[in-house]
Structure 1
Amino acid sequence: MRAVLRLLLPIFLAEVWLASDPALGLQGSEAQAERGALELQGPQNQTWEELQAPANTDEKQEQEHEKAPLMAQQQQLVNETTNFGFSLLRKISMRHDGNVVFSPLGVSLAMAGLMLGTRGKTKAEVESVFHLQAVNQTEPHSLPNLFKGLREALSSNPDLGLTQGSFAFIHKDFDIEETFINLSKRYFDTECVPLNFRNASQAKGLMNHYVNKETQGKIPKLFNEVNPETKLVLVDYILFKGKWLTPFDPVYTEPDTFHLDKYKAVKVPMMYREGKFASTFDKNFRCHILKLPYRGNATMLVVLMEKKGDYLALEDYLTTDLVETWLRNMKTRNMEVFFPKFRLEQKYEMHELLKQLGIRSVFSHSADLGGLSAAARNLQVSKVLQQSVIEVDEKGTEAAAGTLSEIIAYSLPPVVKVDRPFHFMIYEETSKVLLFLGRVANPTLP
């Protein structure tokens, strides 16, 4: 008997297969700015703004004292999730130097959801990737609870255009732990859907229907086939439909040259806008950093190397601290910006990359998935597949995913033309959580 667990994240998609037969082995490689703080949930399912105002100074100080550790843990989680994303980017870059797009938040939510079914060493390895082992020791489900607070803070901002959720498609005969179902619902708002995977064609059609609906048509046909021995499919989705705070006027979009390297170039539709932009220049890495704001207090951060061909070297040094340094040193001024339209769609088999980052046990015969099923012996995760889609045009973006540095804020030229390979980061301003991370080497390719 073979049990299969697929964990898929559109626009970021992580597909995890769970095999019970070791012989089968692996099957393949504005919240607004003035809010000022995340609406993290308190111990009684209240936001911090909803907590009763303190009656006196001592009570207020006590309340602030109790709130500080949770806020610190939340920021630590965001920082580690971002650094985790940069680490994944470096691993992907070892395999190819083309276009890249994925969601660090998506993969983090996927692993946190899977962690609810892990025990022992397997659970510890997942925790260690986020360097939050101490946090998770304060109470049984501290780490999932932090992710829950982050998800709720993001979803409370309708202008952000971010949708996130999950499904659990469960075969009627699979002996899944009720606790796992309850915790998945509690922390990740998972909707459980019973299916008969023995009727593979019907199961495939129903799952495609759910995924297509929740991703608003971005992933119309996720499943091409379904193994009739499948027992459980977990689908986590994250969808970002950002709109520029000030859109580009399509009237000014014209074909222009994008230099792939010193010798090759392609024609791309180049957007144009004149206005006030926040920017800086890093003299250490010789790169321009430009902010393109969305509605809902989100931003695309564009990193453009001064010289053609140097963009890959920057990836070794990307950290949360470096990005924070860039953001602190930005200055807003009037500029002209040329930015290419592009659409990327990328898939990655991630289990080997996750192994390199220290998550190994869950992919081996020694995986401890006792929290998932009472019959978890011999179960293991065999495959992780990620898929991300991002489309950037005049209206905005639709995405279905310290080194001491000398910084100056005045060197960016009054005209910025993004006509060579660049990196982009889409993040929510208040929490600084990294929603999508990518590299555009050739905007004419997916």
Structure 2
Amino acid sequence: FSPHSISLALAMAYAGARGETAAEMAQALYFTLPQERLHPAFNALDLTISARAAAEEIELYIANGFWGQLGHHFLQEYVELLSRNYGAEFHLVDFQGAPEACRARINDWVSERTQGKIEALLPPGSVTPLTRLVLANAIYFQGAWKTQFDPRNTSLEPFRLLGEGEQTVLVLMMRQGAALGYAEGELEGIPYQVVELPYTGNEFGMVILLPELLGFEEFEAGLNAERLELLLAGISTELVVLSMPKFSFSSTFSLRGALSELGMPLAFSPEADFSGIDGSRDLQIDEAYHKAFIRVDEEGSVAAAATGAVQVLKTPPPIIVRIDHPFIFLIRDRETGTILFLGRVLNPAE
């Protein structure tokens, strides 16, 4: 997944959050700066990263978009904030009259800005007549290794799997000897190796964390931002003979549950306060969707990701009717009031 893509999409929603909703989002997303400094900081960060990528012949595209219901009142200061700090492309659409067409339009936008790597970010049914706003981010990255792998050295070799026994699968394993970033050590008694492969220009790199197989799950569970920072700080340049698999995969996430567990359930509830978006408290986030793709081969890496936050009008909780005891029924013509059939059910099993 792409932490940066998720942060950008939710930062745009956070810009309109107020009160306890904003406080929960800030804590869950580790937004430590006040609103008036956070959004310019995201802008400066993206400008810096994009400039560094361009200077090193790395393809890096970051795009943000805003789709709002035609006729719905959005605060001018909110729209200007997204435009100024996120370069958000502003689109007015008819969610009420053509929700599926709007969903297709947003998905096409994401696909175009990720070079076709992210398709159908918003699944069927995610956009409805109650949708009033969709905020989306898309990121595309393509970089060539500083030292590329020779395809003639790539061969089928076993890759050991998690689980009991010595389960393996055959994969195409690349091999090279080069000066790479390297570190090793132990995390809570689990030995690990770290290797970093630089891309052309040396400003961007892919880091591989390789804990001992039997301790992988414990190592992964114990990894957090502070520990990752310590692991990365220990990297130094060494001569490394590296074997690593070619791989390519994509992943899809619905973020509502994870974000609620992280401490921001209010944003997804009828108690949400996004009055900074339209001056009312009528909006809540219905769901946040995320998709990511990566391909790694002898030449380098291609990666893409997108995040979409769908905001809808609040609706009252549904009325629950459970017909689990005797009842009376009738069939009627609603216009004339004529009752065509009338009866009762005392035991549906008879």
CA distance in 2, matches of 1:317, 1:212: 35
**For 1:91-126, what per-residue CA distance to the aligned partner results, in whole angstroms no more than 9, with x for missing partners?**
xxxxxxxxxxx1111111122111111111111111
Shift in CA distance, 205/130, structure 1 to aligned 2, threshold 3 Å? closer
CA contact (8 A) 1:171 1:194 kept: yes
SS at match of 1:184: helix
Which residues in structure 2 correspond to 1:267-416 (within 5 Å)?
Answer: 267-283=170-186, 284-296=189-201, 297-306=203-212, 308-377=213-282, 379-400=283-304
**For 1:153-194, what per-residue CA distance to the aligned partner results, in whole angstroms no more than 9, with x for missing partners?**
111121343211111122212222222111111111101122
Which one of 141, 148, 160 corresponds to residue 43 of structure 2? 148
Which one of 250, 270, 277 corresponds to residue 151 of structure 2? 250
1:167 partnered with 2:65: yes
**For 1:334-359, what per-residue CA distance to the aligned partner results, in whole angstroms no more than 9, with x for missing partners?**
22111101112111221111111111
Equivalent position of 1:437 in the other structure: none
Number of residue pairs the alignment of both structures matches: 294
What amino acid sits opposite 2:142 in the alignment? K
CA contact (8 A) 2:159 2:171 kept: yes
Shift in CA distance, 384/286, structure 1 to aligned 2, threshold 3 Å? same
CA contact (8 A) 1:248 1:394 kept: yes
SS at match of 1:247: coil
SS at match of 1:310: helix
CA distance in 2, matches of 1:222, 1:325: 34
| Higher RCO (C-alpha under 8 Å, 6+ residues apart) | 1
CA distance in 2, matches of 1:289, 1:374: 49
Shift in CA distance, 218/230, structure 1 to aligned 2, threshold 3 Å? same
CA contact (8 A) 1:118 1:370 kept: yes
**For 1:213-242, what per-residue CA distance to the aligned partner results, in whole angstroms no more than 9, with x for missing partners?**
111111244445442443222221112212
TM-score by length of 1: 0.62
Shift in CA distance, 107/216, structure 1 to aligned 2, threshold 3 Å? same
What amino acid sits opposite 1:128 in the alignment? Q
CA distance in 1, matches of 2:130, 2:290: 22
Which structure 2 segments of 5+ residues have no match? 306-350
Which residues in structure 2 correspond to 1:129-148 (within 5 Å)?
Answer: 129-133=28-32, 135-136=33-34, 140-148=35-43
Which one of 119, 122, 128 corresponds to residue 21 of structure 2? 122
**For 1:383-437, what per-residue CA distance to the aligned partner results, in whole angstroms no more than 9, with x for missing partners?**
2222111111111111115xxxxxxxxxxxxxxxxxxxxxxxxxxxxxxxxxxxx
Shift in CA distance, 192/268, structure 1 to aligned 2, threshold 3 Å? same
CA distance in 2, matches of 1:387, 1:213: 14
SS at match of 1:128: helix
Q: What is the identity percentage for the equivalent residue pairs of Structure 1 and Structure 2?
A: 29
1:131 deviates by 4.6
CA contact (8 A) 2:182 2:235 kept: yes
CA distance in 2, matches of 1:201, 1:385: 16
CA distance in 2, matches of 1:364, 1:224: 21
What amino acid sits opposite 2:50 in the alignment? S
What amino acid sits opposite 2:155 in the alignment? E
CA contact (8 A) 1:367 1:380 kept: yes
**For 1:38-68, what per-residue CA distance to the aligned partner results, in whole angstroms no more than 9, with x for missing partners?**
xxxxxxxxxxxxxxxxxxxxxxxxxxxxxxx
1:363 deviates by 1.3
Runs of 4+ in 1 over 4 A off after TM superposition: 130-133
CA contact (8 A) 2:67 2:92 kept: yes
CA contact (8 A) 1:129 1:359 kept: yes
CA distance in 1, matches of 2:91, 2:204: 33
CA distance in 2, matches of 1:221, 1:350: 16
What amino acid sits opposite 2:273 in the alignment? D
1:182 partnered with 2:80: yes
More strand by share: 2
User: Which of the two has higher C-alpha Rg?
Assistant: 2
**For 1:254-300, what per-residue CA distance to the aligned partner results, in whole angstroms no more than 9, with x for missing partners?**
11111113332111111111221221211343011111111241111
CA contact (8 A) 2:118 2:292 kept: no
Equivalent position of 1:199 in the other structure: 98
CA distance in 2, matches of 1:123, 1:315: 30
Shift in CA distance, 223/345, structure 1 to aligned 2, threshold 3 Å? same
Equivalent position of 2:110 in the other structure: 211
Shift in CA distance, 170/329, structure 1 to aligned 2, threshold 3 Å? closer
CA contact (8 A) 1:175 1:375 kept: no
SS at match of 1:309: helix
**For 1:355-395, what per-residue CA distance to the aligned partner results, in whole angstroms no more than 9, with x for missing partners?**
11111211111100101123433x22122222111111111
Shift in CA distance, 223/113, structure 1 to aligned 2, threshold 3 Å? closer
SS at match of 1:227: coil
